[in-house]
Every structure is written in C-alpha cells, then in structure tokens.
C-alpha cells in the first residue's frame, strides 16, 4: 500500500495489465512544496507505481519527496554467494536512490548492508515498540532472548533486562535449523518470562526452536516480538505449538489477523 501525504493511492490496471494511477498533485503537497510517501510493501508491482508517482510529483515541481518505508523489500538478499545469485537488494537500493528522495526512513533494517546502500537513510530502531510490548506483558520476572549473536548485538541495548542468546545448529545440506544452544544468562531462564526479539519472521522456524529450547530450560512463559512479520507465519508452528503465548509485530508487511498476534501501528 502506498500513501501520499496520508491518502491511499488507488492503483488500477488498464486491460493490458499496465498501471492506471490518478493523483491530483495540487492537493497533495505541503506549503513548502514537499511531499511524504509511506510505502507498506505488499507486492513488487508497487515499486513501479512508486516510480511513476515520484516522477509525476517532480514533473509538477515537487522536488522534496520523503519516503517512509518501514520494511525494506529484498532485505534478505543482502549478499551473493555465487555468480548465479542476483543481488536484488543492491539493485533495488539503486532504484530508490535514483528517485532522489530527500529522506528514506526505515524500521529495523535486516543488516548493515541495507543501511549502507540507501542514500539519506533515517533508521528507526524498535526500541519504542519493544517498550510497548514490555508494558503490555509486564516487567515482572522478565528477561530477553535473542535468537542469534547478531540479534543480541543489535538489540541488547534497547531493553535494560538480563538476556540470553541462541547459537543455531543447522543442517548445512538443507539449511534447516535442527535446534540451538543457549548462551548468556542461562541460569536465569528457569521460572522466567522470556521475550524473544528479532527483525523478520517468515514461517518462524527459528522462533519455534528458540521457544522449545527455552521451555526445556524451564521458562514459564515465552513471547515474541518481530518488527516485520510475513503473512506466512500462519503456516508455521509458532502459533500452533503452544510454546509462545503471544506474537507482537508491526503493520509494516503483516496484513492478516490472528487471535494470538498483536499488531503495533
């Protein structure tokens, strides 16, 4: 979904499948002739629409356009391992930079590669969201868990709580997670309420194994916060296993509803 100054852009199609977009520019800019676009990614067609909208604005003399893009599309493709791999994140960032945004605001980028590729980037951490989650579930006997060392380094300064982190054990032939070891304040897990924190969730295999291991170590309750949650979480074991009490995420890309998922606007 794309919004221009708070108004949703209606994106239609001509009979041949190409985009049909209408926008009254005179009603869509601020007094300083700047504009703000918010993009909650749903599909790749929206990138084409974004290009057309920005070009339309600049054609009408609105040269300062700010982009609020909480989720970075192609964020997972932040490296290539062979000549056959297409570096989609790099080329996506080059397209965004070509549009010449005055600022590009993102939430909790997947890696430092993402941060480095975009011009005029403004990074929002999930600190405020994590605080909201802690406020809702309560601070009593609460500790944090980060699924890997990278997540621990990104997030452990955002919540003043004891923490532990995971060390994943993978089947390198298939890439699937077989389990994980736990390091950090492991002696505090037994009887504690634990909040898992990370950036992206697909089907949630990492979080299922994290919760399973935490329960084996005696955790009383396990909760999960992820900044960007794909709708495919509904296909995984996170919501059906009974290991995780509640999942918290934002509306950056999650568009479904579930009784165990709380969406932060």
- Residue 169 sits in which domain range? 127-264
Please indicate, yes or no, whether residues 72 and 95 belong to a single structural domain of this protein: yes
- Pair 83, 170 in one domain: no
Half-sphere exposure of 109 (CA within 13 A, CB side): 24
Give 42's contacts (C-beta < 8 A, 6+ positions apart).
1, 253, 255
pLDDT for the residue 30: 60
pLDDT tens track, the chain, 265 positions: 999 998 999 999 999 999 999 887 766 666 678 899 999 999 999 999 999 999 999 999 898 999 999 999 998 888 888 888 899 999 999 999 999 999 999 999 988 899 999 999 999 999 999 999 999 999 999 999 999 988 999 999 999 999 999 987 666 555 566 668 888 888 999 999 999 999 999 999 899 999 999 999 999 999 999 999 999 999 999 999 999 999 999 999 999 999 999 999 8
Domain of residue 17, CATH code: 3.40.50.2020
Domain termination residue (choose one: 107, 124, 141): 124
SS (H, E, C) 4-70: ECCEECCEEECCCCCEEECCCHHHCCCCCCEEEEEECCCCCHHHHHHHHHHHHHHHCCCCEEEEECC
SS3 of 111-164: the string is CHHHHHHCCCEEEECCHHHHHHHHHHHCCCCEEEEECCHHHHHHHCCCCCCCEE
Q: How many domains does the chain have?
A: 2
Q: Check whether residue 164 and residue 85 sit in a common domain.
A: no
Regarding whether 132 and 118 lie in a shared domain, the answer is: no
149 with 85, same domain: the answer is no
Same domain, 77 and 200: no
Surface-to-core class of residue 216, CB atoms within 10 Å of its CB (0-12 exposed, 13-18 middle, 19+ buried): exposed
Residue 8 and residue 120 share a domain = yes
Q: Which of 82, 109, 124 is the endpoint of a domain?
A: 124
Give me the pLDDT at residue 186, please.
87
Task: Check residue 181 and give its pLDDT.
Answer: 84
Same domain as 75, residue 48:
yes
Same domain, residue pair 91 and 219:
no
Residues 70 and 135 in one domain: no
> Quick one: 140 and 162 in the same domain?
yes
The CA distance from 149 to 163, in Å, is 12
Between CA 199 and CA 15 the distance in angstroms is: 39
- Does residue 180 sit in the same domain as residue 75? no
pLDDT of residue 10: 93
Residue that is last in its domain, among 100, 124, 148: 124
């Amino acid at each position: 979904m794309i919004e221009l100054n708070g108004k949703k852009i209606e994106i239609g199609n001509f009979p041949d499948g190409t985009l049909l977009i209408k926008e009254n520019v005179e009603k869509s800019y601020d007094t300083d002739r700047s504009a703000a676009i918010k993009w909650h990614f749903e599909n790749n067609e929206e990138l084409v629409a974004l290009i057309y909208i920005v070009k339309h604005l600049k054609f009408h003399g609105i040269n300062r356009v700010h982009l609020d893009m909480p989720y970075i599309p192609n964020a997972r493709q932040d490296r290539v391992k062979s000549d056959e791999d297409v570096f989609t994140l790099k080329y996506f960032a080059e397209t965004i930079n070509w549009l010449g945004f005055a600022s590009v605001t993102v939430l909790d980028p997947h890696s430092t590669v993402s941060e480095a590729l975009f011009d005029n980037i403004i990074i929002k951490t999930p600190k405020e969201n994590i605080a909201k989650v802690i406020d809702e579930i309560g601070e009593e006997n609460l500790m944090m868990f980060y699924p890997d060392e990278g997540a621990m380094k990104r997030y452990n300064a955002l919540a003043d709580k004891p923490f532990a982190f995971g060390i994943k054990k993978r089947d390198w032939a298939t890439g699937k997670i077989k389990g994980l070891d736990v390091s950090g304040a492991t002696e505090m897990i037994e009887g504690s309420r634990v909040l898992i924190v990370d950036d992206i969730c697909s089907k949630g295999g990492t979080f299922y194994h994290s919760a399973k291991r935490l329960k084996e170590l005696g955790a009383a309750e396990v909760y999960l916060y992820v900044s960007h949650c794909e709708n495919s979480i509904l296909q995984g074991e996170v919501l059906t296993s009974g290991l995780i009490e509640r999942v918290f995420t934002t509306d950056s890309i999650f568009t479904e509803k579930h009784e165990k998922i709380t969406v932060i606007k």
